[in-house]
Amino acid sequence: MFGQGERVVTSALVSRLASGVPLTVPPGVVDVALAAPPNPPEQVQVQFVGQSFERAYAEAEAFVTAVGEALRALGHPGLAGSRVLDLGSGWGRISRVLLTEVSPTALFAADVDPEMTALVNVSLPGINALTVAPVPPTVLADGSMDVAVAFSVFSHLSGPAHAAWARELARLVRPGGVVVITVIGEEFLDLVEGSQAAVAGGDSDGFTASVAAVFPDVAAVRARFRADEVQFGATGGGGVRTRDYYGWAVASRRAVERIWGDAGLDLFCWRPTGEPISQALAVLVRTERRPVAQAGRRARRSLRHAVGRSGDRLRARVPRPVRAVVRRVRRPRQL
């Protein structure tokens, strides 16, 4: 330690660091009840969520409200007092709304894009922003989260990335913990088809043309979607969002149920597209199970998937008691 008055022999590094402009007001920990945090430029907002300001926040509020409703329906203590992971946090739109209930130190905002985590660090000081790899694991500890949310993230991930993040979130939430994700479904395939028709008719803009190119063979993709396989159009999303894992992805309710079930989470409820947000919403719960029961559930899921895929003729040949089990596991609760 040097005394304040003593001469210091400095290195170039020490001089450079000491020349930094002193902050006039050090940043305090964000408090959304006290003041609205600064917003990113509108073009950044639109690039990440397709809308900005009031429209962007209205969707975020509807999502967080749906998360709160699901937690209440589950008898979960709720967001206040929970440690919450916002996966794929982007510029922090969902995190801003979560902060109305979650303490900044209990909120973890993770994204692959270091520019976004930097933005979150600056605009929401005091929360835990972390940059993650496109495919897990993260540095977070087993069972360290009570709740994890991912809005409009799994709607962009390849099948393998989706499954890997399902396993990671199953690792991160504690038993009884809840994961809420959104996905897009068959309506996106209708949009691609409509866009292709518009392009063929010479009536398209840049966005329409880009959507038209996501799935060249929509009929084949639709068939595989209906067979409950995640369908992925590898477009990339700019920057670190490379096409090996990022693009447009559609997933059915049963695909979600199977992938997340295999990861160790049960589908508690499913809210279809438009009810109340623009994507379908899945609420998944990590249950504590004995290995034998877990293996039994996995076998039933595989059977259900096989039956679902092989059409009516095979279904007719499945004995009645087995069909009853399949029907039971096929129907998660709706809110």
Binding interface with ligand SAM (CB under 6 A): 48-49, 87-90, 93-94, 110-113, 116, 132, 134, 151-153, 156, 161, 241, 246
**Could you tell me the smallest distance in angstroms from the CB atom of residue 330 to ligand SAM?**
29
**Could you tell me the smallest distance in angstroms from the CB atom of residue 169 to ligand SAM?**
11
Nearer to ligand SAM, 208 or 278 (CB): 278
**Could you tell me the smallest distance in angstroms from the CB atom of residue 97 to ligand SAM?**
10
**Could you tell me the smallest distance in angstroms from the CB atom of residue 168 to ligand SAM?**
9
Nearer to ligand SAM, 112 or 140 (CB): 112
**Could you tell me the smallest distance in angstroms from the CB atom of residue 290 to ligand SAM?**
32
CA distance 47 to 63: 19
CA distance 65 to 97: 9
Question: In a 3-state reduction of DSSP, which class is residue 257?
Answer: helix
Nearer to ligand SAM, 132 or 183 (CB): 132
Q: φ and ψ at 236, to 5 degrees?
A: 75, 170
Nearer to ligand SAM, 88 or 261 (CB): 88
* Spatial CB neighbours of 308, under 8 Å, sequence gap ≥ 6: 227, 228, 254
Nearer to ligand SAM, 82 or 182 (CB): 182
Nearer to ligand SAM, 188 or 222 (CB): 188
State the CB neighbour count (10 A cutoff) for residue 78. Answer: 16
CA distance 195 to 205: 10
State the CB neighbour count (10 A cutoff) for residue 231. Answer: 26
Q: What is the DSSP code (8-state) at residue 30?
A: P
Beta bridge partners of 285: 178, 266
**Could you tell me the smallest distance in angstroms from the CB atom of residue 308 to ligand SAM?**
28
* Closest by Cα among 182, 113, 169, 104 to 142: 169
CA distance 258 to 262: 6
Beta bridge partners of 86: 109, 149
**Could you tell me the smallest distance in angstroms from the CB atom of residue 147 to ligand SAM?**
15
Nearer to ligand SAM, 106 or 166 (CB): 166
